[in-house]
Amino acid sequence: MRRIAVIGVCQAWGIGDALTLLLDDADVIILEAPAIQNRGALHAASLLLEDRDIIITQGIPDEYGPLATEALRTRFPNLVQVPVFTFTGFHPDCIYLVLEGKAYSSPLGPYNSAIVAAAFSLGIPVDRVPGLFNAFIFRKAGYFDEFTKATEYARLVMSQFDFDIEPDWPDWLANAPFMHTINHPKAFALASIAKLAAVKAGLIPKSKPIPTLPYDTLSTSAVWPVYPELGRPIGVQGNYIFKQPDNIKEEMGHGVMMSLARFIDGSYNFYGAYPREVFELDAVVRVRSILTECIR
């Protein structure tokens, strides 16, 4: 029996589950490094690696001690590194608001709308903000160009890890959008990455098909919509329905699905308690200048 460990961020779960399906004679353990660090269990987790034949890891920085990629590389010669996959092409308005190491949230957790944040910082009334979501603003903000830029970047990143994504890319596009958010790939995309890792590790031939995962772990977290105006040029039917993480759904009242208006209203409620400096981050300032130009 082959003993494999997958170490990474939240994407590790989909990769590890796909490897279990690809290698039905393997024992696969999955370590989500940030969650383990938050529990103060880095050393305990590293002990689980002692009997592993192969380590498949994403780029884990040195602050994670024994689970850091460079620390693992010195211990395990059979280490295969895979990228932390991000793709902004479907969700160019989705940004992080991080100030001095702290992430500031919207109703979707750490994911924020650059347009909403910029509108709030300009003092635009909340009921006027939905009207800012239109093709004119998107074009001014460069959102229509993001899919091409993100595709080129994804191919570059995968090639840097010696992963040939080209044979699978048509399937990714046929199942677009293949991202829930800018850093949460859907299950079939993670399964594709898992197959590439298994091929690189010499565990399976290239001819083996990509497994179909029966469960999409990251779908329980936030899901950012593809705006209809941005979806049409790339053949994706979009909408303005946002999904909150399952763990913050209300006991009574609304479910996890949110309209654009409710997302904006909720974001404004969050933003009122944040320091002004949060809205001076580059991503907000850039869109704010565009809104100022368009609505004056």
Q: What is the pLDDT of residues 45-81, one digit of tens each?
A: 999 999 999 999 999 999 999 999 999 999 998 899 9
Residue 247 sits in the same domain as residue 208: no
Domain count, the chain: 2
Q: What is the pLDDT of residues 149-165, one digit of tens each?
A: 999 999 999 999 999 99
Position 252 pLDDT exceeds 60: no
Residue 228 sits in the same domain as residue 99: yes
Distance CA(112)–CA(97), nearest Å, equals 7
Residue 232 sits in the same domain as residue 113: yes
- CATH (domain of 64): 3.40.50
Reference 250, options 261, 266, 230; nearest CA is 266
Residue 111 belongs to domain spanning = 94-146+224-295
Residue 14 sits in the same domain as residue 69: yes
**167 found inside a domain:** no
Q: For residues 232 and 238, is the Cβ–Cβ distance under 8 A? A: yes
Q: How confident is residue 212, by pLDDT bands cut at 50, 70 and 90?
A: very high
Residue 28 sits in the same domain as residue 133: no
Residue 139 sits in the same domain as residue 69: no
Query: Which stretches of 9-59 are assigned E, i.e. beta strand?
Result: 26-32, 54-57
